[in-house]
Amino acid sequence: MKYRTYLRSQILADVANVQRDPMLKYFMMIPVILAVVVRLLVPIVREAFIDQFDLADYYTLIMSYFFILMLPMLFGVIIGFMLLDEKDQGTLLALQVSPLSMSRYVMYRLSLPMLLSFLSLYIVFPIVNFYTIDFVSLTLISLVGAFWAPILGLILPTVANNKVEGFALMKGIGGLFIAPIAAWFVPLPYEYLFAIFPNYWPMKAFWVVDQGGNPLPFVLVGIVANLIVIQVILKFFNRKVFS
């Protein structure tokens, strides 16, 4: 009972923190804003350049970049900066004597961005409207893509010591986070060199669906690969925060 009460209060506190922090509030609105912008601009751009090339040939690439890749990153950044705040304020250390054990707290922290990432695709795809995908495939891709959010959420507080360092980290290695998008332009089998990136797998599954293939093998391998990465980063996170 104490655990449930504390967890409920923690959820309410997180909601209040997001409401108070303009940056976090803005980040939470980005998925819908981005979906509306893509829906409005992409058809206009396609019409403007139709004599040079057909942008429709790149709809899959556009969707995979803005939504399959960027949305989990967005929610990962939100949780990452929240963990940085808690580390700065000593909240994480204080939790060691709270009714909520650290393992349960970390599980809660990691599951939240996963849930938001998973649900967000069901919101943005209908808004975008010009790209359709079947429900089962979208569910599988959303599932494996959601694992990228807790990975990024753990990287920030593990490597950075405060928000300033966190912003510097995002700028410094941000290109690595979006590197798998380059796999679109690389022929097989060289494309699989990008498989070292955990967020390659949901995009590959998305591309396979677009080609009429079965995404399930890539989803399953992606889940295993992401779980391994989470376990490794989690060890460094625990060592830095609680040692």
- Phi, psi dihedrals of residue 187, rounded to the nearest 5°: -75, 155
- Summarize pLDDT for 131-164 with one digit per residue, the tens: 889 999 999 999 999 999 999 888 988 888 888 8
Would you kindly state where each structural domain of the chain is located, as residue ranges? 2-242
DSSP string computed for 173-235: HHHHHTGGGGGGGS-TTGGGGGGGSTTHHHHHHHHHHHTT---HHHHHHHHHHHHHHHHHHHH
Q: What span, in angstroms and rounded, lies between the C-alpha atoms of 184 and 61?
A: 7
Cα(first)–Cα(last) distance of the chain, in Å? 29
Q: What angle do CA 75, 78, 80 make, to 5 degrees?
A: 105
Give the number of other Cβ atoms within 10 Å of residue 41's Cβ.
10
Q: What angle do CA 161, 79, 172 make, to 5 degrees?
A: 50
Global pTM reads 0.86
In a structure prediction context, what are the per-residue pLDDT tens digits for the chain, which is 243 residues long?
A: 555 666 677 677 777 776 777 777 777 788 899 999 999 999 999 999 999 999 999 999 999 999 999 999 888 888 888 888 877 776 666 666 666 666 677 778 888 889 989 999 999 999 998 888 999 999 999 999 999 999 988 898 888 888 888 888 887 777 778 889 999 999 989 999 999 999 999 999 999 999 999 999 999 999 999 999 999 998 888 887 766
How far CA 45 is from CA of 65, 80, 148, 178, 243, in Å, comes to 17, 35, 30, 23, 53
Q: What span, in angstroms and rounded, lies between the C-alpha atoms of 128 and 115?
A: 21
Nearest Cα neighbor of 147 from 66, 220, 84 is: 220
